């Protein structure tokens, strides 16, 4: 895809501007709509009428959306580069489902009830599935289609497991049926802060990996000649994906397709250079997640449609489109 390198800073700036708009909307739209001046006074003035709504509910939710969106977009970008697979997505390949199966087990069998407790289970589940799908799907000889299929199989198995657990333990069904669809609504003032350290580490790892992953795209031998160590890059990439997906899933449940869509949308604008691709993804993914969240709040007033459902429907349609357009999917 041709792209002028001079256009990249403009793309980055435009993404940032759009993201700012989405943040403003996310603060203003909801069961009780606010004007922008009201939002501002709600942010800064503890006496304002909107203070509780903005500071206690919408700000935490927006911050969580930013963190989770950036995590999913970066994880998707790294996965697509690592597997050379345009269909790679943390949700589609079962990694978010792995995290959620581990969390559901922790809730049902170990009585773990807080984000601090189950974030570690989410990491364990995400890591296990990341390695498992990679191995089952054919390792380095995996084709895009085989990997997607391995992911679908793992997803189906984990889905059966999660519904079995919900059935056996009906008390946890009440708690989990909201969590397992993927939602930002349960954000507490501290939930973004709790997962932020993990996402920050993932972010730093991804920033450090962008250049070696670029080299890896040329093949292992060329990468070695350029000074990259392919095995180390792969291991660190999986660590980064696990941290990002595990933290995101622990905070708001499994969200699919954000990681798939964003790199596809960005690539025509920035070209294949991962440094730009990932930087723009980190801005555009939260933009999409926040927009989906705002849309979910508008669609079913005064209730809401969970963000994971909006992204599943929109992203599923995008996936079907990508499959029909992409040539290189057949095994």
Residue linked to tokens 């059935």? 167
Using the minimum distance from each CB to other proteins, give the nearer residue, 44 or 320. 320
Report the sign of the C-alpha dihedral through residues 323, 325, 328, 331, in that order: positive
Instruction: Count CB atoms within 10 A of the CB of residue 21.
Output: 12
Using the minimum distance from each CB to other proteins, give the nearer residue, 185 or 207. 185
**Cβ 208 vs Cβ 198: under 8 Å:** no
CB of 74 to other proteins, least distance (A): 21
**Cβ 218 vs Cβ 99: under 8 Å:** no
CB of 160 to other proteins, least distance (A): 3
CB of 222 to other proteins, least distance (A): 24
What 3-state class would DSSP assign to 31? Answer: coil
User: Rounded CA gap, 184 and 189, in Å?
Assistant: 12
Applying CB under 8 A, the residues found at the interface with other proteins are 87, 91-92, 132, 135-139, 141, 145, 148-150, 152-154, 156-157, 159-161, 163-164, 166-167, 170, 173-174, 177-178, 180-182, 256-257, 305-306, 308-309, 311-313, 315-317, 319-320, 323-324, 329-331
CB of 315 to other proteins, least distance (A): 7
Instruction: Count CB atoms within 10 A of the CB of residue 309.
Output: 18
CB of 301 to other proteins, least distance (A): 14
DSSP 8-state assignment for residue 331 = -
């Amino acid at each position: 895809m041709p792209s002028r390198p001079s256009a990249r800073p403009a793309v980055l700036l435009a993404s940032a501007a759009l993201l700012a708009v989405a943040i403003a909307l996310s603060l203003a739209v909801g069961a009780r709509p606010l004007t922008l001046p009201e939002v501002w006074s709600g942010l800064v003035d503890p006496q304002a009428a909107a203070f509780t709504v903005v500071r206690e509910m919408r700000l935490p939710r927006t911050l969580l959306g930013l963190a989770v969106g950036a995590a999913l977009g970066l994880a998707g970008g790294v996965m697509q580069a690592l597997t050379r697979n345009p269909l790679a997505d943390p949700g589609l390949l079962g990694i978010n489902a792995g995290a959620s199966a581990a969390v559901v087990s922790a809730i049902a069998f170990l009585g773990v009830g807080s984000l601090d407790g189950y974030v570690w289970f989410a990491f364990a589940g995400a890591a296990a599935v990341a390695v498992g799908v990679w191995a089952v799907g054919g390792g380095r000889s995996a084709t895009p289609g085989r990997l997607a299929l391995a992911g679908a199989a793992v997803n189906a198995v984990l889905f059966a497991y999660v519904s079995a657990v919900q059935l056996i333990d009906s008390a946890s069904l009440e708690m989990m049926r909201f969590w397992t669809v993927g939602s930002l609504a349960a954000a507490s003032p501290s939930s973004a802060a709790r997962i932020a350290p993990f996402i920050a580490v993932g972010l730093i790892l991804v920033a450090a990996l962008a250049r070696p992953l670029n080299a890896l795209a040329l093949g292992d031998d060329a990468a070695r000649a350029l000074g990259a160590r392919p095995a180390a890059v792969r291991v660190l990439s999986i660590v980064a994906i696990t941290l990002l997906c595990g933290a995101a899933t622990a905070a708001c449940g499994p969200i699919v397709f954000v990681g798939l869509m964003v790199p596809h949308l960005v690539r025509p604008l920035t070209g294949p250079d991962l440094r730009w691709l990932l930087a723009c993804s980190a801005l555009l993914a939260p933009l999409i997640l926040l927009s989906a969240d705002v849309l979910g709040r508008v669609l079913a007033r005064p209730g809401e449609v969970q963000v994971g459902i909006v992204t599943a429907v929109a992203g599923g349609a995008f996936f079907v489109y990508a499959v029909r357009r992409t040539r290189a999917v057949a095994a």
